[in-house]
Amino acid sequence: MDPYFEIDERLLALSDRAEELARPAFGRIEETQRYNQQKMLAAFSRAGVSERHLFGSTGYGYGDQGRDVLDQVYAYALGAEDALVRWNFVSGTHTLTVALFGLLRPGDKMLCVTGTPYDTIQGVIGLPGREEPGCLKEYGITYEQLELLPNGTPDYDTMEEKITPEYKLVYIQRSRGYSLRPSFSVAEIGRMAQIAKRKAPGSIVMADNCYGEFVEKREPTEAGADVIVGSLIKNPGGGIAPTGGYIAGRHDLVELCSYRLTTPGTGREIGCTLGHSRELFMGAFHAPHVAGEALKTAVFASALFSLLGFEVTPQPQEVRADIIQVVKLQNPENLIAFCRGVQKSAPVDSFVIPEPSPMPGYDSPVIMAAGAFTLGSSIELSADAPLREPYAAWMQGGLNYHSGQLGILLAAQEMGKAGLLKL
């Protein structure tokens, strides 16, 4: 049954029950995978992707058709007028930064309507205590935020009151990031965008779409967001893009961002692709399927660990808006064993034993499991956890369900071996 990893028979029986519990969610995920894969193939076909587009340019990269066609592929697949897809975006944070600096001018006001943004963005904005050199605040761009309701959902009533034409940009974060709030569906983002458009018709609605791409059949750009931004080493790079990011949305806004990425005047016309185009096209092709595999891995983890008696969020049957799964493991021993088990399933560095260690910006030690082909890739199975209450592991990724499922089983197995589970 399991010739290679010697998984406990009782755990395998529980795994079957977890898959049974996950079946309705798997059905929905597979339907979305099928739909989005067709959407992606239609995008390739409509953009006319050809073999010559797979080769790279050097130097200034003038006239690089592969680069321009890749932009079109993502624009079509994300339901956007236009897209800027570049390996030169060094991270998701960098891509979001380029978009914010591209769209905002001194004196402009930005309003985040989904509570405190993702950690790294705080320093880009220049939140109190996080005023990094070069942040938006230094350029005279002011920031305000609306808190979420106590249950973590958007406060639509306050948005109705608070949004006025004085705000140039309304900012929405789709994913929970490393918090315990729920992630926001495309429908919910659409509702926020509609309020923004009604109360401040000239404003730009921008969504941080990290971890959300291809989780649903529509993207926020198809529900009223003007611009969405994400990282290619998460969902939209299909586990193949070695680096990069994208900005997609209204044509005029994408152009503005391109002037920030390179220079005013040259914008998207320059930027060589070296040898990266082929990987980026392949990543785009695989992305809808891989996002679904990561989702199935998350649902399986949710099902297995709820059967093992742990609190999980989202629940196995819950409709999801991103690929993140949180498992509250109750104590540091469980958390450490969990991460060590996940690490054992990695294709790269499976022999490494994760240890908690201090991290800049965190008030408690952090433990991570990651054994990825791409450094820091979180579309590959990975888990991170600060060693503090509620000793929760934030896990995400899984390039294919079979390897993802094995990672989750080995996490449980490791806890079992340490005598921490009653099977």
Ligand X SMILES: *Cc1c(COP(=O)(O)O)cnc(C)c1O
10 Å Cβ neighbour count for 27?
10
Q: Per CB under 6 A, does 306 bind ligand X?
A: no
CB of 356: closest distance to ligand X in angstroms? 20
Considering only 32, 173, 179, 235, the residue that binds ligand X (CB under 6 A) is: 173
Q: How many CA atoms lie within 13 A of 356 on its CB side?
A: 18
Taking the least distance from each CB to ligand X, the nearer of 82 and 384 is 384
44-55 burial, b at 16+ Cβ within 10 Å, e below that, comes to beebebeeebbe
Nearest CA-CA partner of 393 in 348, 341, 347, 319 = 341
CB of 423 to ligand X, least distance (A): 34
Site track for ligand X across 224-243, x = CB under 6 A: -------x------------
| Interaction residues for ligand X, span 36-65 (CB under 6 A) | none
CB of 208 to ligand X, least distance (A): 5
Does the footprint of ligand X cover residue 91 (CB under 6 A)?
A: yes
Stretch that binds ligand X, among 40-48, 90-98, 104-112, 236-244 (CB under 6 A): 90-98
- Asked if 101 and 135 touch (Cβ cutoff 8 Å), the reply is no
Sole window of 27-35, 126-134, 171-179, 248-256 interacting with ligand X (rule: CB under 6 A): 171-179
Q: Which of 93, 179, 203, 345 binds ligand X (CB under 6 A)?
A: 93
As given in the structure block, the two tokens for residue 197 are: 């458009």
Shortest-Cβ-distance residue relative to ligand X: 92
Closest distance to ligand X from the beta carbon of 347 (Å): 21
Q: Is the dihedral of CA 375, 378, 381, 385 positive or negative?
A: positive
| Minimum gap (Å) between residue 174 Cβ and ligand X | 7
Residue nearer to ligand X on the CB measure, 91 or 374: 91
The count of chain residues that interact with ligand X, using the rule CB under 6 A, is 12
> Are the CB atoms for 10 and 415 separated by under 8 Å?
no
List all residues 6 or more positions away from 86 whose beta carbon is below 8 Å from its beta carbon. 67, 244, 245, 246, 261, 271
Residue 382 CB contacts under 8 Å (≥ 6 apart), including other chains: 342, 368, 369, 370, 372, 395, 396, 397
Give a three-class secondary structure readout of 126-141.
CCCCCCCCCCHHHHCC
The only residue of 26, 87, 101, 118 in contact with ligand X, by rule CB under 6 A: 118
Least Å distance, CB 9 to ligand X, is 37
C-alpha span between 283 and 235 (Å, rounded): 9
Residue-wise DSSP of 248-276: EE-HHHHHHHHHHHS-TTTGGG----TT-
Chain positions 123 to 152 lying near ligand X, rule: CB under 6 A, are: none
Q: Using the rule CB under 6 A, is 120 a contact of ligand X?
A: yes
Question: Tokens 């409509």 map to which residue?
Answer: 46
By C-alpha distance, which of 209, 249, 266 is closest to 64?
A: 266
Of 216 and 414, which CB lies nearer to ligand X in the complex structure?
Answer: 216
CA distance 112 to 362: 23
Residue range at the interface with ligand X (CB under 6 A); choices 45-53, 59-67, 170-178, 291-299: 170-178
User: What does the alpha-carbon distance between residue 22 and residue 20 come to, in Å, rounded to a whole number?
Assistant: 5
Least distance to ligand X, CB of residue 120, Å: 5
- Given 3-state DSSP classes, what are the helix, strand and coil percentages for the chain, each rounded to the nearest 5? 45, 15, 45
Single residue of 92, 154, 316, 407 touching ligand X by CB under 6 A: 92
Q: Per CB under 6 A, which region of 86-94, 262-270, 284-292, 351-359 contacts ligand X? A: 86-94
246 binds ligand X (CB under 6 A): no
Check if the beta carbon of residue 87 is closer than 8 Å to that of residue 70: no
Query: Whole-number minimum distance, CB 140 to ligand X, in Å?
Result: 24
Cβ proximity of 227 and 260 under 8 Å: no
Beta carbon nearer to ligand X, 99 or 159: 99
Between 118 and 305, name the residue whose CB sits nearer to ligand X: 118
Site stretch for ligand X (CB under 6 A), options 103-111, 205-213, 218-226, 276-284: 205-213
Nearer to ligand X, 33 or 209 (CB): 209
Structure tokens at 306: 């709820």
Q: Which helix (H) or strand (E) holds 393?
A: strand 392-396
Q: Which stretch binds ligand X (CB under 6 A): 20-28, 67-75, 206-214, 360-368?
A: 206-214
- Of 185 and 231, CB closest to ligand X: 231
CB of 47 to ligand X, least distance (A): 26
Contacts with ligand X by CB under 6 A lie at 91-93, 118, 120, 173, 175, 177, 208, 210-211, 231
